[in-house]
Structure 1
């Protein structure tokens, strides 16, 4: 048993009524919820967006997620998108694709929630409801495939990576980002953070070793792991004091010097909140 207790069932303050079990495979190191609490059409309906974003309206998605995209783009590098066929696997409302549309040759979105499709299409992104449909039209045509915060949601993460592999042209690259099971706040043992970190929407939890092993099994090569951290030191201290998320810059005493050192430490130690993987289709 990796963890047992209540977990998050939406945004902060929404918890499961019953305790949930998070288990680890001793063989491969994968960590997952013992049982999938979600209905088969969870991501096709408005239920997920309402639970975690408080809205299924496209404009609200853009407002909430636009600010997340520049650091992602900086981390990957604009050169991987310029004049490329780019697909976002699990695109949501398309905030990332909007940021690179001006440089990409063509942009594609795989997004199960049909409520976002009209807005995605109107902004010039070709939209597919699932990987099966996408493979029927653009298999082995994608130069760059991105997926941010998606693999932890899917029923079968290996099949997810295999589908991505099939969509890429030979030599094409995938850039994947997911929550890091070695997040510094978990490693510090802050009691309130565990039920916040584990949530009903996330079926899988990855560290560097388990994610690399899975990518290799899907056929990817030249796999490179890096880390990205979104939070300053004050966020960690406030978690330890108050047991709840507060965001950044809540303790003015902690200036840029100490926050920069904190960021360097957690990233260098592999304790950042996000693990990022770059991989190539051979």
Structure 2
């Protein structure tokens, strides 16, 4: 099969088994530094899937279904890293568009920092919830279907979305049209070189990582190539959301924790109620220091769970 990004004819196989045991192959193009699902949904198939089925298959708690409100409650707690990364662009007079905004957690967390917000989300329930929670227009559907004027946003964001789209280059070019000439585009995706899949010998995690909803996977060089092709220039960043204890859980058991919440935020030991408070504080202080050092090491190695870029339009 030819690479859908560049047409290269000699891909390498990354896996032939996905999460939930699906027998599908993910191939890797060394020219593009990108992985891609061999059998991908397209067009109306994709639209129907994200409108009706995606959140029934993928949820932050493996034990139960989550509605838009529950997704919001979880995600709103874990936006600090994203906000800190683009804080300098979130001026009081700025306008921000979040493409694929889910139930609006990011928009909600920045709504007091900027002048205007808007979102786009293919899941109608999540779009309605986001609009109510954030007090801004959130359009159910896709960006070209909205009445939003092109070239009108200081910041256009898309977090954990580009891996789901039929054509990543077309997606970037589309979002680029909505950025002001002096604005920025911020994109975040899963990292193809996540330490748990690229460094550790964890067969179950490898199947857990690759899933049919992700049509593409990107490395550092792959993102830079996409930026170049889209007429963008900027810097790639690395970000680790899951903490040290989550990785140790995988390393020791090769199984996920029950909920994404368990693996994010600040890790803490399960201390007894009767434990000495000073001892507990020192033990958890040690764990937090280890966690910070571990995340910094993953960033240095380029093996974080997330990768992305902040870019501007290239000047002629």
User: TM-score, with normalisation over the residues of structure 2?
Assistant: 0.80
Match of 2:70 in 1: 60
Match of 2:84 in 1: 74
Match of 1:267 in 2: 299
Match of 1:11 in 2: none
Counterpart secondary structure, 1:139: coil
- 1:41 positional shift: 2.7
Equivalent in 9, 21, 24 of residue 20 of structure 1: 24
8 Å contact from structure 1 (residues 30, 205) kept in 2: yes
The structure number with the bigger radius of gyration is 2
- 1:244 positional shift: 1.3
Of 73-82 and 153-162, more deviation after overlay is shown by 73-82
8 Å contact from structure 1 (residues 235, 250) kept in 2: no
Equivalent in 197, 202, 216 of residue 190 of structure 1: 202
8 Å contact from structure 1 (residues 81, 144) kept in 2: no
8 Å contact from structure 1 (residues 178, 275) kept in 2: yes
Equivalent in 34, 52, 59 of residue 46 of structure 1: 52
Match of 1:258 in 2: 290
- How many pairs were matched up? 273
Q: Deviations over 1:193-214 (max 9, x none)?
A: 1101101111100011001110
Cα distance in 1, alignment partners of residues 87 and 178 from structure 2: 21
Over 3 Å counting, the alpha-carbon distance change for 1:27 and 1:276 in structure 2 is closer
Does 2:120 align with 1:110? yes
- 1:112 positional shift: 1.1
Please list every run of 5 or more consecutive structure 2 residues that lacks an aligned counterpart in the other structure.
1-11, 258-262, 271-282
Equivalent in 158, 164, 168 of residue 153 of structure 1: 164
8 Å contact from structure 2 (residues 26, 35) kept in 1: yes
Give the RMSD, CA atoms, in angstroms: 2.1
8 Å contact from structure 1 (residues 86, 145) kept in 2: yes
Of 50-59 and 248-257, more deviation after overlay is shown by 248-257
Please list every run of 5 or more consecutive structure 1 residues that lacks an aligned counterpart in the other structure.
9-14
Cα distance in 1, alignment partners of residues 214 and 13 from structure 2: 15
Equivalent in 30, 51, 64 of residue 34 of structure 2: 30
User: TM-score, with normalisation over the residues of structure 1?
Assistant: 0.89
8 Å contact from structure 2 (residues 223, 308) kept in 1: no
- 1:92 positional shift: 0.7
Cα distance in 2, alignment partners of residues 101 and 161 from structure 1: 24
8 Å contact from structure 1 (residues 148, 176) kept in 2: yes
